[in-house]
Amino acid sequence: MKNCKICGGALDALLAYNKMPKAAQYFPDVKTIPYDLEIPLEIYQCTACGIVQIPAKPVSYYSHAIRSPSWDTDPFRKRQLDEFIEEFQLRGKRIMPIEDEPKPDTYNAFLMFNYLEHFPEPRETLTQICNNLEDPGVGIIEVPNFDEIIRDRIFGEFIIDHLFYFTRKTLGFICEASGFDVLRIQEIWDGASLSAVVKKRTPLTALPFKENQKQLIQNIDNFVGRFESATIWGAGHQTLMMLTMMERLDKIPYVVDSFKEKQYKYTHVTHKPVLPPEQLITQPVGGIVIIVGWQYKEVLKRIEDLNLNPKPAIALIKKATLEIL
């Protein structure tokens, strides 16, 4: 079975051509014509990520981009670069044109024009570029537009030099999977190419949970501490976690849950018995903390239907806040 070079998914055969050129460059001369043999061209799509690809060895010259003489002098390119520099304040910064296989280096921005599709491991290539980037860590990635190839039935675009064929969606996927946030993707050159502006993803550092966690657990402890005994309604994962953080577990004789599969068992780690709602009748408590997410209205109705006397005080967790009713 053939597997995707991007995500490892299984490949489904799409098209097959016979007697195809073995390269799009380095044309044979009189001496080498006898060695210029045709090759089969088999095109597949990944069943997982959807990227269309030719699972074959790259041409011998894939690692160096070959450009037409007018490639860098086109007025569009000058305007594109000026706007890119202005948008991301790149004056005085190092902007690297990726025209050879990238190796460990440092630069602030990069330009990769119709080159990614040549690489046998394009995700590794983009990951290397991403690792090389320093602030602001932005780039432009352009590839032939497979959306247009499909839309306009341009079958002549298939060639062994291009191992990968990206749509707007799959170009976004490989960029995201390589450590970038995609800022935008647009069609250029009258739809012939897709142009993606990307930015190196900022990793999460300090998550904003600690302070809120401390406050919420303290509020729960204060609430249940007002009573001889209290309980928590809902033996879900939030309850299991919060019980391990509480200091007033002595006030919680049991946890209530209406799901029969959990009843007459025990909470993980804290080992509080999980009992049906009717336990509130035979073993009353002074307060109930409802921890069931958005389903709390159903629980409030169930408590009302139990006709508890005396009625316990009720508090509920909404997202990460304790609300006393």
Q: Is residue 28 part of a domain?
A: no
On the question of pLDDT at 104 being above 80, the answer is yes
The pLDDT mean for the chain works out to 93
| The predicted structure's pLDDT at residue 162 | 96
Q: How confident is the model at residue 286 (pLDDT cuts 50, 70, 90)?
A: very high
Give the residue-averaged pLDDT of 196-213.
Answer: 88
User: What amino acid occupies position 296?
Assistant: Y
On the question of pLDDT at 47 being above 70, the answer is yes
How far is C-alpha 187 from the chain's CA centre? 23
| The predicted structure's pLDDT at residue 207 | 79
* CATH number of the domain that residue 123 is part of: 3.40.50.150
Give the residue-averaged pLDDT of 278-303.
Answer: 92
Instruction: Check whether residue 104 and residue 163 sit in a common domain.
Output: yes
Residue 270 bridge partners (DSSP) = none
Instruction: Check whether residue 64 and residue 185 sit in a common domain.
Output: yes
Q: Is residue 271 part of a domain?
A: yes
On the question of pLDDT at 86 being above 80, the answer is yes
Instruction: Check whether residue 215 and residue 92 sit in a common domain.
Output: no
Q: Is residue 124 part of a domain?
A: yes
* Exposure on the CB side of residue 247, measured as CA atoms within 13 A: 10
Instruction: Name the maximum alpha-carbon separation found in the chain.
Output: 102
On the question of pLDDT at 234 being above 80, the answer is yes
Q: Is residue 145 part of a domain?
A: yes
Give the residue-averaged pLDDT of 286-294.
Answer: 92
Among residues 170, 200, 230, the one where a domain terminates is: 200
Compute how many other C-beta atoms are within 10 angstroms of the C-beta atom of residue 50. 15
Instruction: Check whether residue 180 and residue 234 sit in a common domain.
Output: no
Give the residue-averaged pLDDT of 187-214.
Answer: 90
Instruction: Check whether residue 63 and residue 185 sit in a common domain.
Output: yes
Domains contained in the chain, number = 2
* CATH number of the domain that residue 312 is part of: 3.40.50.720
Q: Is residue 13 part of a domain?
A: no
The tens digit of pLDDT for each residue in 123-144 reads 999 999 999 999 999 999 999 9
On the question of pLDDT at 50 being above 70, the answer is yes
Q: Is residue 151 part of a domain?
A: yes
Burial class (CB in 10 A: 0-12, 13-18, 19+), 238: middle
| The predicted structure's pLDDT at residue 274 | 97
Instruction: Check whether residue 144 and residue 220 sit in a common domain.
Output: no
Among residues 200, 219, 247, the one where a domain terminates is: 200
Instruction: Check whether residue 186 and residue 226 sit in a common domain.
Output: no
CA dihedral 48, 188, 22, 11 (to 10 degrees): 10
| Distance of alpha carbon 188 from alpha carbon 31, whole angstroms | 40
Q: How confident is the model at residue 29 (pLDDT cuts 50, 70, 90)?
A: very high
| The predicted structure's pLDDT at residue 296 | 86
For the entire predicted model, the pTM comes to: 0.80
Q: Is residue 48 part of a domain?
A: no
| The predicted structure's pLDDT at residue 87 | 97
Instruction: Check whether residue 80 and residue 155 sit in a common domain.
Output: yes
Instruction: Check whether residue 162 and residue 88 sit in a common domain.
Output: yes
Q: Is residue 5 part of a domain?
A: no
Instruction: Check whether residue 214 and residue 278 sit in a common domain.
Output: yes
| The predicted structure's pLDDT at residue 68 | 64
How far is C-alpha 130 from the chain's CA centre? 16
Instruction: Check whether residue 220 and residue 188 sit in a common domain.
Output: no
Q: Any idea which of 24-38, 43-57, 91-105, 231-245 has the lowest mean pLDDT?
A: 24-38
Q: Any idea which of 38-42, 148-152, 292-296, 307-311 has the lowest mean pLDDT?
A: 292-296
Instruction: Check whether residue 63 and residue 188 sit in a common domain.
Output: yes
Which residue range(s) make up the domain with 282?
A: 210-324
Q: Any idea which of 114-128, 200-214, 260-274 has the lowest mean pLDDT?
A: 200-214
Q: How confident is the model at residue 69 (pLDDT cuts 50, 70, 90)?
A: low
On the question of pLDDT at 72 being above 70, the answer is no
Among residues 146, 177, 200, the one where a domain terminates is: 200
